Amino acid sequence: MSPRICTRCAKAALVALVGGCSGPQSALDPGGAAAEQIATLGWTMFAVATAILVAVLALAAHAALAPADRPAWALREGWVLGAGLAFPIVLLSALLVWSLSITGQGADAPPAPFRIQVVGERWWWRVTYLGPDGRPLFSTANELRLPVGRSVDVELTTADVIHSFWVPGLAGKLDMLPGRVNTLSLAAGRAGTYRGQCAEYCGGAHALMAFMVVAETDDSFDRWMAAQAAPVAEPTSDETRRGRDLFLASGCPACHAARGTPAVGAIGPDLTHVGGRLTIGAGLLPTHRGTLAAWIVDPGHLKPEVRMPAFPIYRGEDLRALAAWLESLE
């Protein structure tokens, strides 16, 4: 193989490797400056570590396979100290300085005029947007939206056990601890949907506690903000009207709020705009009529140990109407 082809192969392999490692939840597919810096740091460390590993293995192989006349270097202790003491100290000091320079850095994007409070609950995320004065603007669940190119402070805490808020595409993780508020600054460099997931084992359905972060342009973000602030719209069809009435008449309002209706429950997610969210059940299923209906009938089947009771009383038309109304809440 000629060296040209060789480099081309290597490049292709690298692209395949990096491409194969991309994905909506990959730390190797950064969508923001913070994740980008860490990814660069990571790739550099992988390269240096590979070189060191190969060198150590080659040295060991050489030592093991060396002919009977022992290599002269082996008989001196000095190189053991050189390779085992001096070399790592120099290298690690450099690494420490570099990593600390990243650790201390905040995002340099201009700040957004709002903050987001995220409360970890078993096993979903309560999301509240706060105005500049700290007053809540509206509440939603399992989904954050950000304007591209702005840095948003996300205040993290928990309602029960420890969780950890992690969107690998945008930043490292930060724990949500009882009695504390940790602040993470999130900034997306490009529009897109990033998946996040709870990273601290929180019992039960920990594996099914995900969320979405949608980064969008200023225009569509502003439109979204305005829509979220609005209450539930008046149903436009008989079916959705029936769905709303069923919702209000059954046990749902005890746990769920739908702003603009008498439902003000706060145990479960705010459903005011549930139809406009990408997923239900904390990243579990895409939002549409079918999944909503399945969820209402038996959420525990889809998400074991879930803290919402099953409603097998709903069937047929009733169930379809309820699901249709929820789906219409964009």
List binders of another protein among 104-163 (CB under 8 A): 104, 122, 160-162
Tell me which DSSP letter residue 274 carries. G
Residue 215 C-beta: closest distance to Cu ion, Å: 23
Cβ closer to another protein: 113 or 203? 203
Check residue 306 for interaction with Cu ion (CB under 5 A). Answer: no
Please report, in angstroms and rounded to a whole number, the separation of the first and last CA atoms in the chain.
Answer: 58
Partner touching 199 among ligand HEC, another protein, Cu ion, none, CB below 5 to 8 Å by kind: another protein
Q: Hey, which residues between 298 and 327 contact ligand HEC (CB under 6 A)?
A: 303, 306-309, 311, 322, 326
Q: Under rule CB under 6 A, which residues in 264-293 are in contact with ligand HEC? A: 267-269, 271, 274, 277, 280-282, 292
User: 192-197 and 210-216: which strand pairing?
Assistant: antiparallel
Residue 119 contacts Cu ion per CB under 5 A:
no
Does residue 209 bind Cu ion (CB under 5 A)?
yes
Residues 241, 235 contacting (CB under 8 angstroms): yes
The whole-angstrom separation of Cα 259 and Cα 272 is 6
Name which of 162, 145, 139 is nearest 274 in CA terms: 139
Nearest distance from residue 298's CB to another protein, in Å? 15
Site for ligand HEC in 112-171 (CB under 6 A): 123-124, 141-142
Give me the helices (H) in 22-71, please.
Answer: 33-65
Task: Name which of 172, 109, 181 is nearest 146 in CA terms.
Answer: 109
Task: Quote the CA–CA distance of 218 and 148 in Å, as a whole number.
Answer: 7
Which residues from 158-187 bind Cu ion, rule CB under 5 A? 163
Distance, CA of 157 to chain centre = 15
| Shortest reach from residue 163's CB to Cu ion, in Å | 3
DSSP 235: P
Residues 203-262 interacting with another protein (rule: CB under 8 A): 203-208
Nearer to ligand HEC by C-beta: 215 or 296?
296
Q: Long-range contacts made by residues 90-98, C-beta under 8 angstroms, separation at least 24? A: 91/48, 95/45, 98/41
**Is residue 202 within the footprint of Cu ion (CB under 5 A)?**
yes
Interface stretch with Cu ion, choices 40-48, 197-205, 268-276, 299-307 (CB under 5 A): 197-205
Count of residues near Cu ion by CB under 5 A: 4
Helix (H/G/I), strand (E/B), else coil: 87: helix
Regarding 256 and contact with ligand HEC (CB under 6 A), the answer is yes
> What distances in angstroms separate CA 241 from CA 77, 234, 238, 246, 261, one per listed residue?
85, 8, 5, 9, 12
Q: Which of 136, 231, 290, 304 forms a contact with another protein (CB under 8 A)?
A: 304
**Is the Cβ–Cβ distance between 199 and 187 less than 8 Å?**
no
Report how far Cα 129 is from the mean position of its chain's Cα atoms. 17
Interface contacts to Cu ion, rule CB under 5 A: 163, 198, 202, 209
Q: By the criterion CB under 6 A, which residues form the site for ligand HEC?
A: 123-124, 141-142, 247, 250-252, 254-256, 267-269, 271, 274, 277, 280-282, 292, 295-296, 303, 306-309, 311, 322, 326
